[in-house]
Chains A and B, each alone.
Chain A
């Protein structure tokens, strides 16, 4: 593995992949992240155009998951967490002193690797839990439940047992329930941290369909280990890499087709062709 300095051309803010033009929905600028004294990410600059899907790929331990958690301020919950640079949402710095992290997380939803429906609530209760937990007022709860479950591709499977405990769903169903739950608070951005890595291929396919559909109306940022998945669902891709005992950096980013068919950096080429990682 080469250990060239991080200042590759791809890492400058100018080279954003905003083919669609206009201001990006989310953007990180010169973002560096620490756990205590250990720097895990250095100078990450990525723009996420609105209503697109961006995949974050790279070998494990390169800081992808840490990065995605900085985008809705979940990173700071870890003791000793540190951060430098900005994260902009619709042009506003979400780490500014006067920003309430709760409102940030409300606008920027998140789906985790392991499905985490609330076991003490029903299926319906889980879908509506975001409204309850955030205190958000939205009328027509029945409509929201049906609408979001349809978007998450789960409606037909659970419409007759909405009042059952969420614990009886399978892993794939639980993950789609969690997606529905995240959608119910109408986020503008949805972060997904390896949402399919704990699921079987059939469920993975369903969730990928869901992601494709959602990407038409909201901005999706997905961390994935699966390069086929990245090519199937994403419009843009950013490749993260960390040399041993060095913080992670973004080696290359751009349109997914470009990254996978014609990567500029040899390391990207090696990675997407499965030579390491």
Chain B
């Protein structure tokens, strides 16, 4: 009681919750529920990993580097599918990234406010379209158009190996599947890139304008460098979704267990996710295990892409989902 003030040490402040039994239970329940995401992620890792390990032991490195689906011989290699996923994503990126950037430039810097608001809603509506509907549209509507484009490309640029086609069949190609993926990616990516661009500080834009900057140099020297992190993150988020997309790809690609390196107009390709759905129906026990192992590979791949995306987006400030 008579301690001199300078001797006083800060007291431990007891958290309010520890006194009330209801609060203690509440805290525990909430904390437990909050870790559901961790439990699920850990569960996926453990249970799919548990199937993954024996497959790798059995198939060896061939599982990653080989390309085969041979239930009779018990040989399975998913490299063609993994590579296919990457190829489709690259095609989708090449189309979707410029398209998303241009769309957001139009919405943020060019369009009148009302048009921009309508477009924002349309883009969000596009993002809400289920992928099965994209697959249906891709198969019955878009495939015809894109096959025509492919034919034109092949006719005039067929001397470039990229646009070669040996079968005369222009459907079921990586080109078409990549474009369908791009249609899926564009709204996801645009909603992020639009927000990033809209956050360019107006004083920077004003400064650029007062210096007599053209729109082009304002974008190049102010808006794009300022939002670079967010733009890359948005693209990666779209990429994560594209890598994991299943049914939309399933309908517009001809699954072939042979690596199609770059001939995007050739009617053969694949992706890990669409392979899982394609093979699941008639899978025997061993095939099922291989599918689960492939799912593990897909899970790890998309997880890495998403973590990088979130790290980049997170570093440049939080964005609402």
Chain A residues at the B interface, C-beta cutoff of 8 Å: 29-30, 32, 34, 42-43, 73, 76-77, 81-85, 95, 97, 100-102
Contact = CB atoms under 8 A, between A and B. Distances in A.
Contacts of B10: 32, 34, 82-84
A42 B11 contact: no
Interface string B17-41: 0011000000000000000000000
Contacts of B14: 76, 97, 101
Contacts of A34: 10
A32 B16 contact: no
Contact of A100 (B1, B9, B20): B20
25 contacts: A30-B5, A30-B8, A32-B5, A32-B10, A34-B10, A73-B16, A77-B16, A82-B10, A82-B11, A82-B13, A83-B10, A83-B11, A83-B13, A84-B8, A84-B11, A95-B13, A97-B14, A100-B16, A100-B19, A101-B14, A101-B16, A101-B19, A102-B16, A102-B19, A102-B20
A95 B1 CA distance: 14
Nearest to A39: B10
Interface residues of B, number: 13
A34 B8 CA distance: 12
B21 to A, nearest CB: 11
A76 B15 CA distance: 8
A101 B3 CA distance: 25
Where chain A touches its partner, the secondary structure class is strand
A84 B5 CA distance: 9
Contacts of A30: 3, 5, 8
B19 A43 contact: no
Name which of A29, A85, A101 has the most chain B CB atoms within 10 A of its CB.
Answer: A101
A81 B12 CA distance: 10
A107 to B, nearest CB: 14
A156 B255 CA distance: 78
Interface string B39-76: 00000000000000000000000000000000000000
Contacts of A76: 13-16
B8 A85 contact: yes
A43 B20 CA distance: 31
B20 to A, nearest CB: 6
Given A84-B8, A101-B16, A102-B20, 10 more contacts: A29-B1, A30-B3, A30-B5, A42-B5, A82-B13, A84-B10, A95-B13, A100-B16, A100-B19, A102-B19
B228 to A, nearest CB: 32
A36 B16 CA distance: 19
A82 B14 CA distance: 11
Contacts of B11: 82-84, 95
B16 A43 contact: no
B4 to A, nearest CB: 8
Contacts of B3: 30
A73 B15 CA distance: 10
A194 to B, nearest CB: 24
The 8 closest A-B pairs by CB, nearest first: A100-B19, A84-B8, A82-B10, A76-B13, A43-B5, A101-B16, A30-B5, A84-B10
